[in-house]
Structure 1
Amino acid sequence: IACLVIYLFAEFDDAANLLAANPDATTISIDEPEIPKNQHGRLQEPRREEDDELLGTDDSDKTELLAGQKKSAPFWTFDYYQTFFDVDTYQVLDRIKGSVFPVPGKNFVRLYIRSNPDLYGPFWICATLVFTIAVSGNLSNFFIHLGKPTYHYVPQFRKVSIAATAIYAYAWLVPLALWGFLMWRNSKVMNIVSYSFLEIVCVYGYSLFVYIPTAILWIIPQKVVRWVLMIFSLCLSGSVLVMTFWPAVRDDNRRIALATVGTIVLFHALLAVGCL
């Protein structure tokens, strides 16, 4: 035992002499596992935003992953559909702003919707548009015939049912047909971008918001003013649809891609003219 103690003290003296000769030497505790020097650097080095973009691990992807986990409830339960109305005021306002002021070169789905497609905005936008068209149509008709002694005002409630049928059918059936077409073309051409049905519904719903202030201004009993407002609104909302769905079909056959975008704009124009 005495020899062992003497040996340990000798080792301790040698270590003390080495540290005195080289104060910058690295010491390793026997209680901790040895970690290479380059690994220390990697642990302390903060991640750069460029790396997140290259790896696809930005905040939108993380939000999308969390949204996918949130929508994992069975589709026959109330909780499953409740998630599509789980948006706050700032998200809805941001998406409305993106639909009214489209940014050239920016995809509306990628920029505003991909993390959490909702039905709250599209539902209430369509409902508000139906009510606005019905009220403005009745008021416009009243102002046009105002002052005529033979005119007797009669509310036209049928405009509510006609507007509701046209708008909700457009906001649901056209996205359904477009979603089916994109899925079919994706099976033919593998590099076609495919959106989910709810994402397409969300795009169409928010693209209709610009018609709400336009419908209010349709009270002005001047055909020329109404046509100018309609064309202006059509260009704004139509540009959102074109910039969203053109990247999805541009790698397809050229004629098919142009025909698809042309059909999207045509149906959008028919709705605007029908509302007028």
Structure 2
Amino acid sequence: VMASPHELTFQEFEEAADLLSSNPGASTLSISSPGAAAPSDVKVDLSEDEDDQQESSELLGGEKQTGGFWTFEYYQSFFNVDTMQVLDRIKGSVIPLPGRNFVKHHIRNNPDLYGPFWICVTLVFSVAISGDLYTFLFNMGDPGHHYRPQFNRVSIAAVTVFLYAWLVPLGVWGFLMWRQSVESHISSYTFLETVCVYGYSLFIYIPTSILWTISVYWLEWLLIVIAMVISGSVLVMAFWPAIRDDTKLTAFATMAVIVSLHALLAVGFKLYFFQTPTHTGSSHSGQQTTPAANHTTLTVGKHQ
């Protein structure tokens, strides 16, 4: 049985018409005749795909805009780290390896204030309490010494540590920005990256201040040298790549100032909070010389 020509032609179904009427922006492809031009008949809607691609590129590129400085989201980005990242950065500040820049290998364009803040707080109490304990242990055998907790040391340590952790990075960052404006080939870090490097470099002074309670003169200064070498190496390896393309005099002078200020902080801790009392030694010497003088007087009396 031969089919009629009417049965062999393509027909439009009502279901397809209903789908197109409910979603007019859907992708459609119509073929009217074999000889028709294909590009003119193809209609594709890519508006939603372009929006998704744009959002993905913003997330990958880190260009997602946050709120203003008066919003909570603005400050939340400064503490966007987890425990493993903080521990990795502390490890990098205690074990600096040659050729490993702390900013590039540990911060990785994600500086934080969480770790530096708690390091500074811990250092304040560690230095103040350890210094008070050092004085108590040194005078423990002296019956004339009355122990009095010196709570003012906490305030002095807090002012010293936080001023150093903010003002010195501010000065270093400002100097690098100025040199970058003078010499275009000089690289620089952001202020938050500079504060982050300085904050983590102070961690080594926490165990060092605890070990300073051991009242051994040569050991105390040996610990200072070790702490200064470790923390100073972190700063040098972090800031030397940013300043090495400058003139030799400027580069070496900048590194010398950074290391000197860091060493001055450690020496200041030792001389103020862990100083050896002098009045105790004089009282002991006075108790030793008085019996000797009385013995001399008695000997002279016998001869007379």
| Residue-by-residue CA offset, 1:156-197 (whole Å, 9 max, x unaligned) | 111111111111001000000111100000001011111000
* In structure 2, distance between residues paired with 1:233 and 1:80: 35
Match of 1:176 among 148, 170, 173: 170
Does 1:142 find its partner at 2:131?
no
- Aligned letter for 2:112? D
Identify the residue that residue 110 of structure 1 maps to in structure 2: 104
Match of 1:247 among 237, 241, 244: 241
| Residue-by-residue CA offset, 1:232-255 (whole Å, 9 max, x unaligned) | 011000000000101100100110
* In structure 2, distance between residues paired with 1:63 and 1:95: 24
Identify the residue that residue 126 of structure 2 maps to in structure 1: 132
- Aligned letter for 2:109? S
Question: Structure 1 115/64 Cα, relative in aligned 2: closer, same or farther at 3 Å?
Answer: farther
Does 1:218 find its partner at 2:179?
no
Q: Percent identity?
A: 60
Deviation at residue 69 of structure 1 after TM alignment: 2.8
Residue pair 1:133, 1:216 contacting (<8 A) in 2 also: yes
> What is the DSSP-based 3-state SS (H/G/I as helix, E as strand, rest coil) of the residue aligned with 2:175?
helix
Q: Which stretches of structure 1, 4 residues or longer, exceed 2 Å deviation after superposition?
A: 62-66
> What is the DSSP-based 3-state SS (H/G/I as helix, E as strand, rest coil) of the residue aligned with 1:209?
helix
Does 1:236 find its partner at 2:216?
no
Identify the residue that residue 54 of structure 2 maps to in structure 1: none
Deviation at residue 64 of structure 1 after TM alignment: 8.1
CA RMSD of aligned residues (A): 2.0
* In structure 1, distance between residues paired with 2:246 and 2:218: 39
Pairs aligned (count): 217
Identify the residue that residue 155 of structure 2 maps to in structure 1: 161
Identify the residue that residue 93 of structure 2 maps to in structure 1: 99
Deviation at residue 86 of structure 1 after TM alignment: 1.8
Identify the residue that residue 189 of structure 1 maps to in structure 2: 183
* In structure 1, distance between residues paired with 2:64 and 2:199: 24
Identify the residue that residue 19 of structure 1 maps to in structure 2: none
Question: Structure 1 108/149 Cα, relative in aligned 2: closer, same or farther at 3 Å?
Answer: same
TM-score scaled to structure 1, two decimals?
Answer: 0.75
| Residue-by-residue CA offset, 1:118-161 (whole Å, 9 max, x unaligned) | 00000000000000001100100001001101000001111111
Question: Structure 1 237/63 Cα, relative in aligned 2: closer, same or farther at 3 Å?
Answer: farther
* In structure 2, distance between residues paired with 1:90 and 1:103: 19
* In structure 2, distance between residues paired with 1:250 and 1:94: 27
TM-score scaled to structure 2, two decimals?
Answer: 0.68
| Structure having the higher Rg | 2
Residue pair 1:64, 1:114 contacting (<8 A) in 2 also: no
- Aligned letter for 2:186? I
* Long gaps (5+) in structure 1: 1-29, 34-61
